[in-house]
């Protein structure tokens, strides 16, 4: 039962975005929100993918991703009528906060939440999202949808205070469209849709205010779709004028969106006048809405295409007795609202919730309790009875079976197709949920089934390319690309796939860096080159260790999109490598501010702080990173290092060390370098010195390598299968530099990297290939130089790799000194005399002559 | 300059003054910035400010429409019912 009397008002403003709000607040046009901002904590809130509102608002209400809550899109198969219907609350497969609070004895008003139809019989009132839309002609009866109000006895009280679009006058229209009288309303439906949005919003608001005034409540939660609808309808007309918008329409509608925000602020003022000082207020959106240069000019004719207008960052505010004043919170996600709400109320947070408690918002840290899962608690949660809870996918299939068996009438081809499309769409959305949660394997499983049903679907193929590239399967990614590329030019959906960008990404995945660069450079020459192109180019240059060009690309992005995650994170990593730790820390903090759940960004921050000798803060950053990714080996090793050398905390140290020990399977010695750089010679030295080598002697000695190659055939297939690595524990194995990147992270590698003059290497290779050694292959030399830079970069990123560079010429000129250094590097386990005996200076052919 | 014609004076009114509604009359009483008692008449055309007030504003607006002989375009079959209202103190009343 309820143990305290805290009250909370939650206002959901779908699609609200700080980029629109801030200028309005600065101009004094959102004074109510300004009170919240100045008296509370505000921040960005990261949306989830796919950014579809019913899924997102259910994540807000449950603290869980859609794979756990079961709401998978706007529509679902209609098991009763056939065809499709708007998504229903019966499809939710986990308890929302109102179920939990009902169980705990709270009185609640839940109004308009999407989806909340049919209503659940909670303590208090629930008015569903089907309630506000007027379905009648003016002056006729406006029926209240069945199951849209609980308790239904309230219907007679609420019906009178609804607002019908036909009631609205010029007093309601002109604030949004000052020149509305110039519109030809016979041929222009824009004012009709505007009045519907205003009326729907006003009905939700009047219902909520009535309930707040006339019921005893602890929690009131009100969802508004007004800002989202104003934005989808009219954001394209907002200043700055978009090129495709006619001047006359721009002048007519440019104020609509801002008017919508101001209207919401006016409503907020009313709410603030209705609550007491002890009431907490939470205002949040589910995503933002692009309002400037990032607005798409055209939307494809694809399902859920309007979501392309959404900004991945929405807004969130907290205000109340124990909330900090005039502060910012970083790293909030939609998933955090319910855990934070439960903590405000002193209730335990479900361990199965994907979100976290936003501790930084509180003046005095509250006690946080946890429970395994609220779904396992027995008792009255005011849920729908079991017969109403249907797995829509299964039910739809059962319906189809009944149709085929002739038990019920076929609802018609269109309905059947609509139902199939709805199921497909739900599955597609689920694949994106998995991808968003980094469960790429599950995402691919779904997409591969979907693409069988629609082999040329651009969304399935595009998403598959991204997923395959993440898993390193460039062959399959290339296949999907070929499918899209072969679509006829007349296929209008093809216009919305940036094939060149996909091609560049695949080329990068295939390590064809120069071709990728060429493709992207060509794209940049075209007008309207996208942020996406710059992101890929910046990422490519980064992987090539061409940091100056990478910085140029990322900084160009930040000029138009300061909150771009890729650019901020890319710059953080580059400045870390360039040893500019302050800048690295700044950009890492930016990254975390945009999206908190990026373990790598916390690691980069930790590295920067570590190098600035800020060990406490660095340890915190590494531990946050580990809280998100417990198997993050590099962060764990750094944490151990800090606790061993700089901060005394025995308990923490032992804990990190224990975990580290279980993570590290063993040590492996690698001899690496470019082909013909002296790797075989070093293998001879080490085996002569007493080490066991992993080799199968498949490649026999020849005139180029008379003492043998010391190779192991499975190593050559590492890009596809690196399972051989376990065989190398405690041994030495030869791995050429191009294959180092495929080594798994769960081993500790000691790499002896052979260096040799590039011209010598190339001459040796030319001879080995039977080519003219006097010809100098410039392009190959360039690639090799970049490869060496790439290796250096790779090593910097891998603390589980320690490296010893050995110059081939130095081995010849200083055999003892080199052998001693190598022996020390390998913890003095080798016999120096036998090592140097393995060096044969006569094999130092193709030597560059001093000029 | 967004929404130049938006009824901002009403917003400011809502911001700073207590809105007193008695028996759903067609007038709003309050105080201006100088503390003087003022009365705002509600016209049948309504306003964004009335919508922003919530149910109280809508009731007042409907009354004004009825008094002016305007038809009920929302739903002519429903009547105003406020059963057992709980008298809740607003923030201003608390002060």
pLDDT digits (tens, 9 = 90+) for A280-318: 999 999 999 999 888 988 887 776 778 889 999 999 999
- Residue A539 and residue A588: Cα distance in Å, rounded? 16
Is A396 within a domain?
Answer: no
User: Inter-axis angle of helices A413-436 and A458-470, to 10 degrees?
Assistant: 20
Q: Which of B41, B86, B34, B82 is nearest to A161 (CA)?
A: B82
Q: Is B94–A276 a contact, with Cβ atoms under 8 angstroms apart?
A: yes
CA distances from residue A194 to A184, A201, A237, B73, B90 in whole angstroms, order as listed: 15, 11, 14, 17, 32
**pLDDT tens-digit map of A518-550:** 999 999 988 766 889 999 999 888 766 678 999
Lookup result for tokens 């790797």:
A679
Strand partners, A755: A807
Q: Across the interface, which of A167, A208, A265 has its CB nearest the CB of B74? A: A167
pLDDT score at B90: 46
Strands (E), A340-475: 349-350, 370-371
Half-sphere exposure of A279 (CA within 13 A, CB side): 22
Q: Is B48–A172 a contact, with Cβ atoms under 8 angstroms apart?
A: yes
Query: How distant is the Cα of A125 from the closest Cα of chain B, in angstroms?
Result: 15
Query: How distant is the Cα of B58 from the closest Cα of chain A, in angstroms?
Result: 6
Pair A38, A186 in one domain: yes
Q: Across the interface, which of B46, B52, B55 has its CB nearest the CB of A263? A: B52
Domain total for chain A? 4
Contacts of A418-421 with C-beta under 8 Å, sequence gap 24+, read A418/A83, A418/A84, A419/A77, A419/A78, A419/A82, A419/A83, A419/A84, A421/A84, A421/A303
Q: Across the interface, which of B4, B52, B58 has its CB nearest the CB of A178? A: B4
Query: Count of CB atoms within 10 A of residue B30's CB?
Result: 17
Q: Is A209–B56 a contact, with Cβ atoms under 8 angstroms apart?
A: yes
- Residue A198 and residue A846: Cα distance in Å, rounded? 82
Strand partners, B29: B20, B39
Q: Is B74–A163 a contact, with Cβ atoms under 8 angstroms apart?
A: yes
Q: Is B55–A209 a contact, with Cβ atoms under 8 angstroms apart?
A: yes
pLDDT score at B87: 52
Pair A647, A778 in one domain: no
Q: Is B51–A255 a contact, with Cβ atoms under 8 angstroms apart?
A: no
Q: Which residues on B lie below 8 Å from A214 (Cβ)?
A: 82, 84-86, 88
pLDDT score at A845: 56
Q: Which residues on B lie below 8 Å from A176 (Cβ)?
A: 3, 6
The alpha carbon torsion through A791, A797, A803, A808 (nearest 10 deg) reads 10
Q: Is A141–B79 a contact, with Cβ atoms under 8 angstroms apart?
A: no
CA-based R_g, chain B, Å: 15
Query: How distant is the Cα of B43 from the closest Cα of chain A, in angstroms?
Result: 10
Q: Is B46–A169 a contact, with Cβ atoms under 8 angstroms apart?
A: yes
Tokens of A16: 């609200």
Is A476 within a domain?
Answer: no
User: What CATH number does the domain containing A515 carry?
Assistant: 1.25.40
Is A147 within a domain?
Answer: yes
- Residue A497 and residue A487: Cα distance in Å, rounded? 11
- Within chain B, which residues score under 70 in pLDDT? 1-27, 29-35, 82-95
Q: Is A206–B45 a contact, with Cβ atoms under 8 angstroms apart?
A: no
Pair A762, A839 in one domain: yes
Tokens of A426: 């739900």
Pair A556, A645 in one domain: no
Q: Say which residues have a Cβ less than 8 Å from residue A395's Cβ, sequence separation at least 6.
A: A77, A79
Q: Is A187 helix (H, G, I), strand (E, B) or coil?
A: coil
Which of A151, A214, A234, A279 best probes binding to B when mutated, by most B CB atoms within 10 angstroms?
A214
Is A133 within a domain?
Answer: yes
Q: Which residues on A lie below 8 Å from B54 (Cβ)?
A: 205-206, 208-210, 267, 270
Pair A268, A283 in one domain: yes
Tokens of A735: 């791995």
Q: Which residues on B lie below 8 Å from A210 (Cβ)?
A: 54-55
Query: What is the distance in angstroms between the CA of the first residue and the CA of the last residue of chain A?
Result: 89
Lookup result for tokens 């959106």:
A285
Strands (E), B1-95: 27-31, 37-41
Q: Is B51–A163 a contact, with Cβ atoms under 8 angstroms apart?
A: yes
Nearest residue in chain A measured CA to CA from B84: A214
Compute the residue count for chain B: 95
User: Inter-axis angle of helices A531-543 and A565-577, to 10 degrees?
Assistant: 20
Pair A641, A681 in one domain: no
Q: Which of A535, A520, A460, A470 is nearest to A294 (CA)?
A: A535
Strands (E), A215-269: 219-224
pLDDT score at A296: 87
Is A287 within a domain?
Answer: yes
The alpha carbon torsion through A39, A44, A47, A51 (nearest 10 deg) reads 90
Q: Across the interface, which of B49, B78, B92 has its CB nearest the CB of A159? A: B78
Q: Is B73–A164 a contact, with Cβ atoms under 8 angstroms apart?
A: yes
Tokens of A639: 């944490």
Q: Is A138–B7 a contact, with Cβ atoms under 8 angstroms apart?
A: no
Q: Is B91–A198 a contact, with Cβ atoms under 8 angstroms apart?
A: no
Q: Which residues on B lie below 8 Å from A35 (Cβ)?
A: none
Q: Across the interface, which of B5, B6, B74 has its CB nearest the CB of A164? A: B74
Q: Across the interface, which of A142, A208, A259 has its CB nearest the CB of B74? A: A142
Is A248 within a domain?
Answer: yes
Q: Across the interface, which of B54, B78, B82 has its CB nearest the CB of A209? A: B54
Q: Is B11–A262 a contact, with Cβ atoms under 8 angstroms apart?
A: yes
CB-based contact, A98 to chain B, within 8 Å: no
Which of B14, B18, B21, B51 best probes binding to A when mutated, by most A CB atoms within 10 angstroms?
B51
Which of B10, B24, B52 best probes binding to A when mutated, by most A CB atoms within 10 angstroms?
B52
Q: Is B58–A206 a contact, with Cβ atoms under 8 angstroms apart?
A: yes
Pair A782, A834 in one domain: yes
Pair A303, A180 in one domain: yes
Pair A128, A256 in one domain: yes
Nearest residue in chain A measured CA to CA from B81: A157
Domain ends where: A376, A404, A434?
A376
Query: How distant is the Cα of B27 from the closest Cα of chain A, in angstroms?
Result: 17
Instruction: Name the helix (H) or strand (E) containing A200.
Output: helix A190-214
Q: Across the interface, which of A170, A207, A259 has its CB nearest the CB of B45? A: A170
Q: How many contacts, defined by CB atoms under 8 Å, are there between A and B?
A: 163
- Residue A277 and residue A323: Cα distance in Å, rounded? 12
CB-based contact, B3 to chain A, within 8 Å: yes
Is A392 within a domain?
Answer: no
Tell me the residues of chain B between 6 and 65 that have a Cβ less than 8 Å away from chain A.
Answer: 6-8, 10-12, 14-15, 19, 43-49, 51-59, 62, 65
For chain A (length 851 residues), average pLDDT per consecutive 10?
A: 75 97 96 97 93 95 97 86 85 97 97 96 96 86 92 92 94 93 74 93 97 94 96 95 93 96 97 95 97 85 80 95 94 94 96 92 94 97 82 55 51 76 92 92 97 94 95 92 90 79 91 87 83 92 80 94 92 89 96 83 93 95 87 82 95 90 78 89 90 81 72 90 89 92 89 89 76 72 84 86 88 77 75 77 55 36
Pair A111, A166 in one domain: yes
Nearest residue in chain B measured CA to CA from A209: B54
Parallel/antiparallel/unpaired status of strands A748-755 and A801-807: parallel
Pair A593, A728 in one domain: no
Query: How distant is the Cα of A33 from the closest Cα of chain B, in angstroms?
Result: 11
Query: How distant is the Cα of A620 from the closest Cα of chain B, in angstroms?
Result: 42
Q: Say which residues have a Cβ less than 8 Å from residue A698's Cβ, sequence separation at least 6.
A: A711, A713
Whether the bond between A240 and the residue before it is cis, its omega within 30 degrees of 0, is yes
Query: Count of CB atoms within 10 A of residue A248's CB?
Result: 11
- Residue A423 and residue A556: Cα distance in Å, rounded? 41
Pair A749, A769 in one domain: yes
Full residue range of the structural domain in which residue A548 is found: 498-561
Compute the residue count for chain A: 851
């Amino acid at each position: 039962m309820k143990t305290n009397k805290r009250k909370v008002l939650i206002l959901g403003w779908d699609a609200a975005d700080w980029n629109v709000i801030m200028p309005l607040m600065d101009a004094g046009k959102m004074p109510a929100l300004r009170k919240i901002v100045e008296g509370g904590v505000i921040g960005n809130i990261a949306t989830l993918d796919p950014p579809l509102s019913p899924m997102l608002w259910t994540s807000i209400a449950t603290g869980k991703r859609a794979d756990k809550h079961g709401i998978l899109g706007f529509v679902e198969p209609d098991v009763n009528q056939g065809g499709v219907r708007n998504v229903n609350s019966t499809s939710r497969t986990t308890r929302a906060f109102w179920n939990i609070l009902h169980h705990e004895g709270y009185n609640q008003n839940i109004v308009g939440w999407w989806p909340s139809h049919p209503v659940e019989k909670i303590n208090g009132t629930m008015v569903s999202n089907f309630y506000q839309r007027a379905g009648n002609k003016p002056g006729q009866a406006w029926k209240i949808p069945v199951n849209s109000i609980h308790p239904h006895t309230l219907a007679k009280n609420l019906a009178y205070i609804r607002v019908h679009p036909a009631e609205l006058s010029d007093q309601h229209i002109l604030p949004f469209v000052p020149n509305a009288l110039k519109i030809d309303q016979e041929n222009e439906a824009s004012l009709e849709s505007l009045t519907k949005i205003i009326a729907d919003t006003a009905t939700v608001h009047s219902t909520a205010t009535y309930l707040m005034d006339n019921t005893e409540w602890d929690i009131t939660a009100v969802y508004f779709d007004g800002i989202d609808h104003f934005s989808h309808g009219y954001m394209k007309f907002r200043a700055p004028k978009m090129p495709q918008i006619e001047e006359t329409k721009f002048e007519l509608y440019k104020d609509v969106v801002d008017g919508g925000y101001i209207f919401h602020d006016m409503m907020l003022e009313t709410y603030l006048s209705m609550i007491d000082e002890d009431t907490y207020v939470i205002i949040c959106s589910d995503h933002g809405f692009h309002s400037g240069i990032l607005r798409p000019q055209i939307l494809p004719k694809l399902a859920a295409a309007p979501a392309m207008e959404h900004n991945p960052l929405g807004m969130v505010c907290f205000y109340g007795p124990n909330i900090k004043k005039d502060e910012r919170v970083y790293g909030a996600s939609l998933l955090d609202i319910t855990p934070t709400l439960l903590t405000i109320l002193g209730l335990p947070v479900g361990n199965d919730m994907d979100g976290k408690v936003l501790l930084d918002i509180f003046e005095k840290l509250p006690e946080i309790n946890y429970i395994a899962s609220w779904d396992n608690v027995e008792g009255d949660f005011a849920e729908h009875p079991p017969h109403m809870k249907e797995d829509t996918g299964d039910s739809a299939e059962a319906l189809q079976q009944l149709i085929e068996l002739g038990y019920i009438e076929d609802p018609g081809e269109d309905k059947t197709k609509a139902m199939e499309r709805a199921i497909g769409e739900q599955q597609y959305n689920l694949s994106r949920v998995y991808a968003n949660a980094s469960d790429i394997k599950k995402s691919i499983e779904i997409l591969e089934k979907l693409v069988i049903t629609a082999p040329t679907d651009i969304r399935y193929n595009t998403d598959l390319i991204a997923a395959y590239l993440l898993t390193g399967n460039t062959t399959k990614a290339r296949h999907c690309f070929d499918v899209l590329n072969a679509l006829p030019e007349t296929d209008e959906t093809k216009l919305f796939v940036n094939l060149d960008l996909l091609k560049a990404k695949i080329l990068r995945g295939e390590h064809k860096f120069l071709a990728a660069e060429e493709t992207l450079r060509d794209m940049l020459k075209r007008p309207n080159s996208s942020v996406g192109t710059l992101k890929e180019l910046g990422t490519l240059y980064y992987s090539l260790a061409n940091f100056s060009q990478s910085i140029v690309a990322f900084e160009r992005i930040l000029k138009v999109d300061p909150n771009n995650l890729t650019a901020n994170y890319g710059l953080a990593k580059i400045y870390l490598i360039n040893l500019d730790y302050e800048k690295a820390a700044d950009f890492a903090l930016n990254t975390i501010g945009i999206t908190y759940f990026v373990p790598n960004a916390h690691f980069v921050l930790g590295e920067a702080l570590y190098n600035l000798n800020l060990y406490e803060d660095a340890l915190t950053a590494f531990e946050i990173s580990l809280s998100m990714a417990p198997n993050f080996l590099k962060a764990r090793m750094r944490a151990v290092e800090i606790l061993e050398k700089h901060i005394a905390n025995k308990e923490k140290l032992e804990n990190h060390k224990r975990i580290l020990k279980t993570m590290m399977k063993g040590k492996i010695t690698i001899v690496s370098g470019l082909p013909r750089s002296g790797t075989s010679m070093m293998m001879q030295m080490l085996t002569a010195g007493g080490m066991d080598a992993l080799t199968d002697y498949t490649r026999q000695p020849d005139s180029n390598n008379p003492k043998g190659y010391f190779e192991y055939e499975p190593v050559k297939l590492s890009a596809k299968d690196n399972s051989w690595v376990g065989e190398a524990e405690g041994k030495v194995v030869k791995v050429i530099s191009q294959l180092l990147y495929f080594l798994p992270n769960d081993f500790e590698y000691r790499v002896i990297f052979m260096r040799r003059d590039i011209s010598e290497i190339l001459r040796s290779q030319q001879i080995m290939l039977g080519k003219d050694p006097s010809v100098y292959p410039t392009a190959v030399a360039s690639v090799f130089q970049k490869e060496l830079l790439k290796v250096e970069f790779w090593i910097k990123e891998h603390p589980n790799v320690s490296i010893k560079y050995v110059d081939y010429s130095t081995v010849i000129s200083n055999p003892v000194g080199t052998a001693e250094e190598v022996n020390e590097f390998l913890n003095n386990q080798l016999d120096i005399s036998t090592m140097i005996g393995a060096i044969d200076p006569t094999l130092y052919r193709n030597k560059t002559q001093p000029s | 300059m967004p929404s130049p014609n938006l009824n901002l004076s009403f917003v400011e009114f809502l911001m700073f003054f207590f809105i007193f509604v008695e028996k759903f009359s067609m007038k709003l009483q309050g105080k201006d910035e100088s503390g003087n008692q003022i009365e705002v008449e509600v016209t049948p055309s309504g306003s964004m400010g009335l919508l922003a007030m919530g149910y109280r504003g809508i009731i007042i607006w409907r009354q004004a429409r009825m008094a002016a002989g305007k038809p009920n375009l929302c739903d002519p079959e429903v009547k105003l019912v406020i059963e057992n209202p709980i008298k809740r103190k607003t923030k201003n009343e608390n002060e």
